[in-house]
Structure 1
């Protein structure tokens, strides 16, 4: 009897398998996913691990660092590490020491902007700052005089008859005018 029940169960299994194979439908056709979905699967974990980058910080650097430090520094990159992220700031010479001295305040403002604990440290590297051109008007050379200044100097020295004295005074006048212009531009 045991063989008969096994035989029936094998026959029933075969019928069941046959019936399932006949009743089974085709697999559903699915379109390829959009590229944005695939890219998001890659970018999202990287963004959560490394952050959004320096661009939002760079755009709001004046509010984060303050006007004084924004003029003399700029954010370069964010480095991720085991101990947390580090913002690298580029500043020239002694400005780097000033920024490091007030790094606690900058770090607080930075984390209030990005979110609590986003940046753990600030690292300041020394480097020259590139400045944007301030105006389209051509500036006179720092050592020379403009054409109008040279004409005014010539006309003021025209009444002097001694050539050697006139040339010495002209040289002195050019040097004095160019140095006073340099001094007034620095302040």
Structure 2
């Protein structure tokens, strides 16, 4: 076969307006099929990427302080439930223990170390800090300075009679008492 025959169009193919329309139709279908697709893939989730990098680095570190705090009651058991983990630095776990419980827990530290190692924590020793119990949390609700007289209470209840919802009615009663006493 000569070079001229290779580049000569085949006899069964045709040229002209009909062939151009056929090619344009095929091109339009291919463009329509690709329209609306993202050309560039979206970036990966940052937390997944960070986890993939950090997980091999932290493989041998064991439980952290947050996991210890979260699961302290299950890991430590009933005898250590009142102690709370404070810090974990270089394998030394610092516990905050209330009052007279500290000497008892000091004697039980080998048992606690065993339980922590069973749970997967890499702890070498335990430091016990004897501290007083934390003060109770304060609420943002101030106590009433004085109680309302029965007449004031009746007037407030009468003003709130049209309210049908009992939850809303009790909240409005508390608000009314707070406004009237101050």
User: Which has the larger share of helix?
Assistant: 1
TM range (shorter): 0.3 to 0.5
Provide the TM-score with structure 2 as the length reference.
0.43
The alignment's TM-score, normalised by the length of structure 1, stands at: 0.42
